[in-house]
Amino acid sequence: MKETKTMRMLIETTVFALALSLVACGGDQGGKADKGDKTAAKGDAGDKAGADKGEVAAADDGAGADEAPALDPKVEKAVTIANKISADPGSTDAILGEAGMDRDSFEALIYEIARDPELSKSYAIARET
């Protein structure tokens, strides 16, 4: 009986973690990410075929402007804190204290961002740069 409870708890925890990962990775957007990848591949093929470099640069500038909207204040705060923690993991509590947060409130903020696909995407893009 105890093994059944343990196994059930393990399965529930795993399913919950996978659900959070799916939301955080934008898994609910279906094939939308694939279309962007195909567009990027077509752009690369144009470069190889001898496309005018000025046109390619203009296309890149336009795409960059669309991909860099203003960050939500929650996302901006989370990214700033996460970048500081990544730079100095030993000072995590001090960094969180400066931001007026503790580990639990930072975790809650990250979960809030993970629940919203748009905020998750903004967070992921901001963390990459």
pLDDT score for 105: 93
CA contacts within 13 A on the Cβ side of 27: 10
pLDDT score for 52: 46
Q: Is the pTM of this model over 0.75?
A: no
Give the pLDDT of the chain (129 residues) as one tens digit per residue.
666 777 777 777 776 666 666 666 655 455 444 545 544 544 554 444 444 444 444 444 444 444 556 788 999 999 999 999 999 999 999 999 999 999 999 999 999 999 999 999 999 999 887
d(CA 37, CA 123): 19
Locate 5 and state its tokens: 């409870």
The secondary structure of 65-90, three-state, reads HHHCCCCCHHHHHHHHHHHHHHHCHH
